[in-house]
Chain A
């Protein structure tokens, strides 16, 4: 059989040999992702994968050139044109994921896909580092093979992928090394065929539980005098659902009108949201982001902390004053925790000699980054950081003012006031355990001085 086929093909080949050469030259530009290179911070290509003909590594030289030109790692342009290809890259976890494409394709398509790849790696290996990828290079290769077919995304849902390729666990790695068994799923994946492609079939749990975390972030810019220039609330609902069978959930809010702009996981039925402001969905198995939302800008945003600052440099002297006090504001009685203040000081600052009333601070004289780990704010005794900065002798006073970035957490509260009303399950008979948690964080929270 084999040989017959071979002979036929040989014959055919004889006829076509000449044309082959010609075709090579005139072959149409193939769209979508051609190859992927993973490059670490020091500029080594440590993984490559090609979905079509092999593209030489040397194409990355253009990327390295651009990298050299950029002052900061994140300033490498995401799209770099080269004579024959285009390089589209994303930077995550200090690794550049560089996709090579040959012709017109929406850049966001590639960028979004690359981020999805990173998310998948993170999901599989816990972290997405060079070491983790190198350790699991075979799984990575198998994943990439399934995620793209001929450069076009095929299976990107984590539920489907996990059916195809089991994530490595310590136990499984050990068993595998001993028995030589595999990570590849034994049964064929059925998820790709179902009407709910994001959920694998035949899910079974002894404890059925569904947890939802409502996490809100405050993005704000506060000006010198303490007044708010812009502030908005972005929120997400992350879910961890471990339910048997094919549950159908509905989640309703006490005050859905707060949500101004939303984006959904594909499992959410859009029409019901439109009509009733209810989230109705068959959840994927495991962790997923159900919803992200933006709270309407008409509502005034409560700013949970205030900062009193006095950062000055005097002309002619090589000393500068640094004085910072934090205090709670509009926190609805909840404690402000895990406060971290950081600031990029002007280049002229050589060192800082500061005295925190609580927590610890560090100053990196190379990057000029000052960070102060405050911890919890005690309203009775406000945390402060005071002291002097020494400047380069003879240099003139820096005329730029540093901005102060703040991170914080407030447990058990969504700052917008969003509240989940109820969660119901249909389609399955058992009683699940349900849990909802609220949290507020500072997103991009900046104070200008």
Chain B
């Protein structure tokens, strides 16, 4: 700006009417012409070919925009400079463009091509900035161009460009909501991204575009949890808030049992002591209820739920208040009661921050302290009020103090309150008096003390204080009026002095209500009031009428005339409410011929026993809003607020979050190395020399950017162990012994990081290959122990993961010193062979190949020489017992080699899963290779579609299982069979009369045909007229029982008993076909 004014000084003459930019008054006449003139010279400057002049002009224009001046008439002159070489001019043009493009849509289009060129730039930062500006131009007609640009950027090499793409999504969405479906596809793709840079931005886009598509999160859930600590702080807030909602839909309420207890049985055991501290009570209950509890299903926290809680906890230490608040609300909404306490300390810490932060935090603390008082009790003193706090903070602190008050601390709190009452801030004093009132109602023991204190305040000099006290005393007296006629008398005296209408009204109401307790004073008060009636405020007048009516009913002898007088005055009052009231009351209490039946009940109407008011916190029940949200703060639903869902009754299938097994083992290993390596620097300084070479990529979290998908249960537990017990673990003997080893693997893990991180192109080849070797090796080694993934037994899993640690720990040692690439390379090939043979040979050797029917997946013509056949090998698929093994045979009929055969882009029905076959690196011409993949069809005959990719082509293929392949044989004895069959009657039984094919009327051929059609095993049977078969479906393990009873002349009866009726019906058809043809 200084430069700006300097410029104007030079041009002194042109700005004769002063400088309108500085002028506060745009209405004076000369402005328009000068404005016009000045814009003219700006145009000139923009048209010149000197960058410095252009820059000067742009700076002045931006300064005008900043002050809210309209500069849209310069648009054509500015937009021309969009391709200017000078970076700053360009940036300022962008600023201008984004501001005015919406208004000048046609002209804005002129700039688009520049950005489109920018999108193709080899420099990632230029690509990103082009996309950023392009997407910020709010011109509806470029929507298709934007869409295209976003799609391309979403698969850009650079994570930074992908991040920008994620940012562009909400922009496009707000421009054209009809693009939603396409945008969701992009979001889905970006959600799978494994870099921390993208994670925050894409979740933000998800929240804006499709927060309801919670299903998109399943596969990425664990990844997001693991990446969280490395995401930039703003992204963390968004992710945590989203995961809170996610967890509420997917997991069970960790406090389920406790809440049941509270509702149910505690009344019978400890009926009366409600005021007692919640947690204590629970503990007692737990002991008492132990036998009862045993019956109920014990709650086991989903390991994924635990993972979320564990990975967010360190973020309580963030310097960013928004992150701390986000974690706090997550814990409040999701954690078991016993663990919520950890957030209190962090929230109290935020109270040291700026007053706006305090304001928001205190609002949330106020809500939390109602539900979980115990949590903040230790920090009671942090909420003490200082005279320098702004009033709104004081009031909120008071609220928290009131919520925290209980029998033990009430005396200290009341002492504090006493000092507050002497404050100069009268609004605050009023709030304090109300707080005292609330303490008095909540805690019976101090009610009298409080009341006395408040009565003393009645002689305070400040009228506001007195008035507020009167209002609060009125509420307190209502609880036990008979004891306190003195106070009522005292208050009656006050009517002479107090002028605050609310207080006067309260006193009058009290006297009217309890006129029987003060029979002598009441009529006198009415007399005085009748005198001053015309000068009173409306609420006071209404109460005078009330008082008169009540006195008339109880003591009509003394007050009849007074009442008439008051009612007459009211009849001619200016306020129609008062006139109406007077009319109504007269009719009601003064009996005339006309008055109806109601007047008989007048006394009952007026002097009914009224329930005492409940003094409640305004923060009660605010927690149905997600804490930390704007809606919670305002206590009203803000636009775009996503309701926090209730916990589900039964947990949805946790397996939806499962991802690939192999990778997880790898990441698991990575973590082992990470874990052991971290505390190294201080311990062995001798290693320093070696390390100096490669400290470049330290990692800040245990699961670094690339940790990728993780396997479900055991990895979760494993992590837990790492964090919680890392110190103990270190103490374990074998670890100590292997200290040396650890230090070595540490430097190596650095390398591993490097090769993994996408952003850094791996410079050292050997480290890369080494990492690969390890990957494979580990994959090979770890397969067997990681197989039995069972959800129900937690302990076993823990032990297992510990074992894994032991198993894996020494694994890196052979390559700990990266001596030469030769060794590792050869090792790699060896291992590769191993892992391949493991997967390929086994089915080939064991399976009864003769019975297998093979299907064509890819014909050699469509496959351009590559043909693929598959068959169901009927072997248990070892990596996952719930999958059907599909054996594929690739034949290369072409003349050239086919490379990198692998599958991609698997499209499945929900619930289905696929374990891909390992990539076939080379299939020489004329050769044949087999591979095995696993598919979990979820007991349905839906096809699994995917792309089969070679190094040159992609083929769309699909695998559809015959129903008979969806089961595996089980062995049953005859008795067992009969028993099971007995339970599967009715709807589950399907019977069909058939005529057997002429060739298959003997037992042997029947057995053969049935077992070919379906993967079942024969059940021994006493009678030779019957053949029985049994199996279970692969995914759900439902029994499938088949009986073929032969009769004369080839007639037979086919009976199928199956829990899954669909399977049953389909199987009937298949077997029928097999037996009749």
Q: Hey, which bits of chain A sit against chain B, CB under 8 A?
A: 1-2, 5-6, 9-10, 12-13, 16, 19-20, 23, 26-32, 44-50, 52-54, 57, 71-72, 74-75, 77-79, 81, 86, 89-92, 101-109, 111-113, 115, 134-138, 140-142, 145, 149-150, 152-154, 156, 173, 176-177, 179-180, 182-184, 186, 188-189, 192-195, 197, 219, 221, 223, 229-230, 232, 234, 246, 248, 250, 252, 260-267, 269-272, 274-276, 278, 280, 282, 289, 292, 294, 344, 346-347, 396, 399-403, 405, 426-427, 429, 444, 446, 448
B356-381 Cβ-contact flags toward A at 8 Å (1 or 0): 11011100000000000000000001
B234 within 8 A of A: yes
User: Are the C-beta atoms of A107 and B178 separated by less than 8 Å?
Assistant: no
Question: Given A2-B113, A250-B682, A264-B317, is A177 in contact with B6 using a C-beta cutoff of 8 Å?
Answer: yes
User: Are the C-beta atoms of A134 and B1 separated by less than 8 Å?
Assistant: yes
User: Are the C-beta atoms of B3 and A173 separated by less than 8 Å?
Assistant: yes
B25 CB → nearest A CB, Å:
13
Residue of chain A at shortest CB distance from B234: A153
28 contacts between A and B (CB under 8 A): A5-B112, A9-B109, A9-B145, A10-B141, A23-B176, A31-B204, A44-B24, A79-B634, A102-B639, A112-B320, A112-B322, A136-B1, A137-B63, A138-B62, A150-B168, A152-B167, A156-B234, A177-B2, A184-B87, A197-B232, A248-B695, A271-B678, A272-B678, A289-B319, A346-B424, A347-B424, A399-B422, A426-B688
B609 within 8 A of A: no
CA distance A192 to B200 in the complex (A): 14
B710 within 8 A of A: no
B54-94 Cβ-contact flags toward A at 8 Å (1 or 0): 01100100110111100000000000000000111001101
A-side contacts of B318, CB under 8 Å = 263-264, 266
User: Are the C-beta atoms of A5 and B125 separated by less than 8 Å?
Assistant: no
User: Are the C-beta atoms of B630 and A107 separated by less than 8 Å?
Assistant: yes
CB within 8 A of B392: which of A77, A250, A289? A77
User: Are the C-beta atoms of B357 and A108 separated by less than 8 Å?
Assistant: yes
User: Are the C-beta atoms of A12 and B208 separated by less than 8 Å?
Assistant: no
CB within 8 A of B354: which of A29, A79, A115, A272? A115
User: Are the C-beta atoms of A5 and B346 separated by less than 8 Å?
Assistant: no
B99 within 8 A of A: yes
In the A-B complex, the 7 residue pairs with the closest CB atoms: A180-B52, A103-B640, A182-B88, A230-B381, A103-B639, A184-B88, A104-B641
B854 CB → nearest A CB, Å:
50
CB contacts under 8 Å to A, within B696-722, are 696-698, 700-702, 705
Most buried by B among A2, A141, A152, A426: A152
User: Are the C-beta atoms of A271 and B702 separated by less than 8 Å?
Assistant: yes
A-side contacts of B170, CB under 8 Å = 30-31, 150, 152
User: Are the C-beta atoms of B759 and A154 separated by less than 8 Å?
Assistant: no
B797 within 8 A of A: no
B314 within 8 A of A: yes
User: Are the C-beta atoms of A109 and B234 separated by less than 8 Å?
Assistant: yes
Most buried by A among B317, B356, B416, B642: B356
Most buried by A among B124, B346, B633: B633
CA distance A90 to B759 in the complex (A): 38
CA distance A11 to B279 in the complex (A): 69
B201 within 8 A of A: yes
User: Are the C-beta atoms of B201 and A152 separated by less than 8 Å?
Assistant: yes
Most buried by B among A1, A45, A271, A429: A271
CB within 8 A of B360: which of A44, A108, A250? A108
User: Are the C-beta atoms of B2 and A106 separated by less than 8 Å?
Assistant: no
B622 within 8 A of A: no
B126 within 8 A of A: yes
B758 CB → nearest A CB, Å:
11
B464 within 8 A of A: no
A-side contacts of B124, CB under 8 Å = 193
CA distance A150 to B701 in the complex (A): 29
User: Are the C-beta atoms of A71 and B391 separated by less than 8 Å?
Assistant: yes
User: Are the C-beta atoms of A47 and B388 separated by less than 8 Å?
Assistant: no
B460 within 8 A of A: yes
B100-128 Cβ-contact flags toward A at 8 Å (1 or 0): 00100000011011001000000111100
User: Are the C-beta atoms of B1 and A53 separated by less than 8 Å?
Assistant: no
CA distance A402 to B702 in the complex (A): 53
Identify which of B132-140, B532-540, B946-954, B997-1005 touches chain A: B132-140
User: Are the C-beta atoms of A75 and B125 separated by less than 8 Å?
Assistant: no
A247 CB → nearest B CB, Å:
9
User: Are the C-beta atoms of B384 and A221 separated by less than 8 Å?
Assistant: yes
Residue of chain B at shortest CB distance from A71: B391
B-side contacts of A448, CB under 8 Å = 419
B-side contacts of A153, CB under 8 Å = 234
User: Are the C-beta atoms of B321 and A112 separated by less than 8 Å?
Assistant: yes
CA distance A246 to B642 in the complex (A): 43
CA distance A103 to B52 in the complex (A): 42
User: Are the C-beta atoms of B177 and A27 separated by less than 8 Å?
Assistant: yes
B-side contacts of A77, CB under 8 Å = 359, 392
B-side contacts of A108, CB under 8 Å = 321-322, 325, 357, 360-361, 628
User: Are the C-beta atoms of A271 and B691 separated by less than 8 Å?
Assistant: no
A-side contacts of B634, CB under 8 Å = 79, 81, 86
Residue of chain A at shortest CB distance from B390: A74
CA distance A402 to B422 in the complex (A): 9
CB within 8 A of A16: which of B62, B141, B422? B141
B380-424 Cβ-contact flags toward A at 8 Å (1 or 0): 011010111011100000000000000000000000100100111
B463 CB → nearest A CB, Å:
13
CA distance A188 to B357 in the complex (A): 35
Most buried by A among B124, B142, B237, B322: B322
User: Are the C-beta atoms of A138 and B208 separated by less than 8 Å?
Assistant: no
Residue of chain A at shortest CB distance from B391: A75
A-side contacts of B176, CB under 8 Å = 23
B548 within 8 A of A: no
User: Are the C-beta atoms of A182 and B326 separated by less than 8 Å?
Assistant: no
B-side contacts of A115, CB under 8 Å = 354, 356-357
Most buried by B among A13, A90, A179, A262: A13
A284 CB → nearest B CB, Å:
12
Residue of chain B at shortest CB distance from A111: B356
CB within 8 A of A106: which of B63, B138, B326, B381? B326
Residue of chain A at shortest CB distance from B724: A274
User: Are the C-beta atoms of A180 and B629 separated by less than 8 Å?
Assistant: no
B497 CB → nearest A CB, Å:
14
B-side contacts of A280, CB under 8 Å = 681
A309 CB → nearest B CB, Å:
15
B859 within 8 A of A: no
In addition to A109-B322, A180-B52, 7 A-B residue pairs with Cβ atoms within 8 Å of each other are A5-B116, A86-B638, A104-B638, A106-B629, A150-B167, A188-B123, A271-B726
CA distance A426 to B502 in the complex (A): 71
A391 CB → nearest B CB, Å:
14
Residue of chain B at shortest CB distance from A183: B88
CA distance A29 to B642 in the complex (A): 13
User: Are the C-beta atoms of A193 and B759 separated by less than 8 Å?
Assistant: yes
User: Are the C-beta atoms of A20 and B140 separated by less than 8 Å?
Assistant: yes
Residue of chain A at shortest CB distance from B726: A275
Residue of chain B at shortest CB distance from A116: B320
B679 within 8 A of A: yes
User: Are the C-beta atoms of B138 and A53 separated by less than 8 Å?
Assistant: yes
B51 within 8 A of A: yes
Question: Given A103-B638, A137-B1, is A23 in contact with B700 using a C-beta cutoff of 8 Å?
Answer: no
B119 CB → nearest A CB, Å:
13
User: Are the C-beta atoms of A72 and B390 separated by less than 8 Å?
Assistant: yes
A-side contacts of B51, CB under 8 Å = 180
Question: Given A149-B132, A263-B317, is A54 in contact with B6 using a C-beta cutoff of 8 Å?
Answer: no
User: Are the C-beta atoms of A29 and B640 separated by less than 8 Å?
Assistant: yes
User: Are the C-beta atoms of A47 and B66 separated by less than 8 Å?
Assistant: yes
User: Are the C-beta atoms of B1 and A180 separated by less than 8 Å?
Assistant: no
Residue of chain B at shortest CB distance from A149: B167
CA distance A57 to B68 in the complex (A): 8
CB within 8 A of B390: which of A28, A75, A105, A135? A75
Question: Given A90-B356, A347-B424, is A138 in contact with B140 using a C-beta cutoff of 8 Å?
Answer: no
